[in-house]
Amino acid sequence: MHKAKREERFREAGVRLSDMVPGVRFVACSEIVVRRCCDDPTLCQPGDVFVAREAVLGEAHEAVREALANGAEAVVAETVVCTGGVPLAIVPHADWVYARLSHALVGDPAQKLRVIAVTGTSGKTTTTWLAAAVLSEAGLRVGVVSDLGCLDAEGMHVERGGVEDAATLAAWLERLVDSGCTHAVIEVSSQMLAAHALAGMECDTAVVTNLADAHRDLHGSREAYHGIKARILDSLADDGCLIINGDDERLRQLVDRCARERPAAGTVVVGLTAGDLTATPVERSLFGQTFLMQVGGHAVPVAVTPPVVSFVRNALLAAAVGIRERVPVERIARGIEAAGSVAGRMERLDRGQEFAVFLDLPTSGHALASTLASLRRLTPGRLVMIAEEGIATTLGGSGRFVTRSAKWCDECLIAPADIAADDVAEGGVAAYARIDRALAGMGAGDCVLVLGDVLRAGPPSGDPESGELGLIDVVDGWLQLAHPPRELVRRHAA
């Protein structure tokens, strides 16, 4: 059915709250039929049902007044609020209701897909895209929804921009269905789980990469964060499959809980030394690694560009997804090798220089520590890290960031946000001078790790007109000037 007609049909029929929300209580009505919903009072339009998500809005009364002034025809809230006689539904969890409505109002597209949900503290993005590459290698029509961007079955390029709420996720899942996808691999953050963004979805496979101490600023404590991550099991189908990184002992509790709550579900454990899928290193250097992937009596060599150990674990998790979907081991290996690396996640930047340069965008201190530990073991010379100031701030503040990095790095440089601006401030000029000196002093056996946001303007292009410039463009431009193509050098010499 055409998308517009399908949406019109669902909106005409609407969703009865009493059918969807157990324990709902109504005030000034006996039922509310939802045809459109909104959680932002400033965006409410006549006919909308306003969902007062206190986790987002804080105190709901003022937001409800604004939504009603903008034409909301009903309100959903967790407590009694003044609506002036407008129908009110009181529910246990407004976040869950908003997410559930977001999916239901577009026809629950996840029900038409085999959904693979990937969560964890670090490695989610890489695992998501590697899993998609494995399934694509098998000829399946796969869509991807991740922090890096989204891609449907007909897309030639990744559409930048992550998924932050249930409405965006539902819209993308609908788009995947319309493009002919049979499978969807989605990256699920703790923020999405905290907002119940998967409400009503049944995932065929849930992948958990690891579980560390992170995002206390968002969730309050380590225990709360771990509890939110465990919500991924709430969306696992009764006959689904849980895939975990067995090298992380903290994930064993999820296996036990899954066995209790979903006895018909399967469990796959991957690990570097023990598990259903394992990997034996063959060779590893700053310029890539080869490992032997072992599963069910089969052993297949896999050669990849990223040299870090975490990439091997992520590849094993992606391989387990392939095994779940009955992809032959040889095709799984080809899919991982074809993916090479994931943009902005330990992506190699090679302009002909003697030393190794990698681009990365860690989302937690745990992820960065793992990367630096691997690079330190592989780097016989100097290991230098250059980070955007915003990333350093997110990971603990510039001072603490530099101090902690000293455990692995010979030097750590922080670049201000305006380092590539036309009207760069004095601090930016000084930072560029330090970066210039550091790069000029690098040689064979050295390594540079650049922490920057490749999503700002896409991969390095060398084109100053390609978009907003940042640290990655500065480093890439320096490398291109210092190491021009040989043909260009010969032409100038002639």
**How much is the average pLDDT of 325-344?**
93
Under a CB-based contact definition with an 8 Å cutoff, are residues 126 and 120 in contact? no
**How much is the average pLDDT of 444-470?**
70
Domains in the chain with CATH codes: 3-94 (3.40.1390.10), 109-339 (3.40.1190.10), 347-486 (3.90.190.20)
Place of tokens 């060779």: 283
Q: Can you give the pLDDT at residue 460?
A: 46
Q: Can you give the pLDDT at residue 9?
A: 53
**How much is the average pLDDT of 283-298?**
95
Q: What would the two tokens of residue 21 be?
A: 């929300």
Q: Can you give the pLDDT at residue 366?
A: 84
Number of neighbours of residue 153 by Cβ within 10 angstroms: 18
**How much is the average pLDDT of 322-336?**
97
Mean pLDDT, rounded, of the chain: 90
**How much is the average pLDDT of 475-484?**
94
Q: Is the dihedral of CA 48, 51, 52, 55 positive or negative?
A: negative
Q: With 50 as the cut, is the pLDDT of residue 65 above it? A: yes
Please, is 1 exposed, middle or buried when counting C-beta atoms within 10 Å of its C-beta (0-12, 13-18, 19+)? exposed
Under a CB-based contact definition with an 8 Å cutoff, are residues 211 and 226 in contact? yes
**CA 262/CA 249 separation, integer angstroms:** 21
Is the model's pTM score more than 0.85? Answer: yes
For the packed helices 365-378 and 398-405, what is the interaxial angle rounded to 10 degrees? 30
**How much is the average pLDDT of 451-468?**
58
**CA 191/CA 144 separation, integer angstroms:** 18
Contacts of 169 (CB under 8 A, 6+ apart): 102, 103, 145, 163, 186, 192, 197, 198
Q: pLDDT confidence of 69, banded at 50, 70, 90?
A: very high
Number of neighbours of residue 41 by Cβ within 10 angstroms: 21
Q: Can you give the pLDDT at residue 54?
A: 80
**How much is the average pLDDT of 451-480?**
72
**How much is the average pLDDT of 465-490?**
78
Q: Can you give the pLDDT at residue 344?
A: 85
Q: What would the two tokens of residue 371 be?
A: 């990367």
Q: With 50 as the cut, is the pLDDT of residue 440 above it? A: yes
Specify the amino acid at residue 186: I
**CA 231/CA 47 separation, integer angstroms:** 33
**CA 396/CA 488 separation, integer angstroms:** 44
Reported residue count of the chain is 494
- Over the stretch 204-244, which tens digit does the pLDDT of each residue have? 999 999 998 766 666 678 788 888 999 999 999 999 999 99
Q: What is the DSSP letter of 345?
A: B
Q: pLDDT confidence of 15, banded at 50, 70, 90?
A: very high
Q: pLDDT confidence of 486, banded at 50, 70, 90?
A: low
Higher pLDDT, residue 226 or 359: 359
Q: pLDDT confidence of 468, banded at 50, 70, 90?
A: low
Contacts of 334 (CB under 8 A, 6+ apart): 137
**How much is the average pLDDT of 42-61?**
87
